[in-house]
Amino acid sequence: MFNKILTTFPILTTERLTLRQPSQSDVQEIFSLRSDVNVNKYLGRSLTETTDEALTFIQKVNEGFKNNKGLYWGITISDNKKLVGTICLFNFSDDLKTCEIGYELLPDYQQQGIMNEALKKILDFTFQTLEIQTIEAFTHKDNLSSTQLLEKFHFEKTTFIDETDPNLIAFYLSNKK
């Protein structure tokens, strides 16, 4: 699938950020992200309890790239190299026309334009390099920061309701070539 286009994991850069594949050395930051109550408030996932769980997660997402299941970038400030968040593409359709996007950021780095910058880079990459036609995103109805970010990039709300979690709002963005 996308590994026909990508032979190695894509490292993407912006003016301030480097988006790269997570490594074992990121275990503490991944643990912080996945165990932080505020980060996970709207995600509906169990909190990570140990660094071993975080390490297993890193291995899982890196295997996901090898197995065409997803692309999971660690977001770092270029002059620091410390992972401050993640952004990922997953749930690729069999025909590679649609995928889903997700993201998270440590609280100390929120409201600084970091996710705005990372999302712009990923959207460009997804539409131009992967030639995806539609990107979907789901966010909790109370997660105003995420909703505003998606709307800033012209994601459109859908009427889809997830029966397993009616608090989720579905958005989509189509490639306007």
Per-residue pLDDT of 44-88, as tens digits, reads: 789 999 999 999 999 999 999 988 889 999 999 988 889 999 999
DSSP assignments along 110-130, one per residue:
TTSSHHHHHHHHHHHHHHHTS
The residues near 26 (Cβ < 8 Å, ≥ 6 apart) are 58, 74, 83
pTM for the model stands at 0.92
Mean pLDDT of the chain: 92
Query: What pLDDT shows up at residue 167?
Result: 84
Integer angstrom CA distances of residue 168 from 33, 38, 57, 70, 149: 21, 17, 24, 21, 15
Q: What φ, ψ does residue 109 adopt, rounded to 5°?
A: -110, 5
Closest listed residue to residue 74, CA positions, set 58, 60, 90, 63? 58
More reliable by pLDDT, 126 or 1: 126
Question: Which residue is listed with tokens 């270029």?
Answer: 78
Query: What pLDDT shows up at residue 177?
Result: 63
Query: What pLDDT shows up at residue 67?
Result: 87
Beta strand extents in 26-119 (DSSP E only): 70-77, 83-90, 98-105
Give, rounded to a whole angstrom, the gap between the first and last alpha carbons of the chain: 22
Residue 4 in this model has a pLDDT that exceeds 70: no
Query: What pLDDT shows up at residue 166?
Result: 80
Residue 1 in this model has a pLDDT that exceeds 90: no
Domain architecture of the chain: domains with CATH = 2-174 (3.40.630.30)
13 within 8 A of 78, measured Cβ to Cβ? yes
Tens of pLDDT, residue by residue over 29-42, are 999 999 999 988 88
Tens of pLDDT, residue by residue over 135-175, are 999 999 999 999 999 999 999 998 777 677 788 899 999 99
Query: What pLDDT shows up at residue 99?
Result: 96
Closest listed residue to residue 33, CA positions, set 92, 68, 85? 85
| Sheet of 70-77, strands arranged across | 12-13, 17-20, 70-77, 83-90, 98-105, 134-140, 168-174, 156-157
Question: Which residue is listed with tokens 């036609």?
Answer: 133
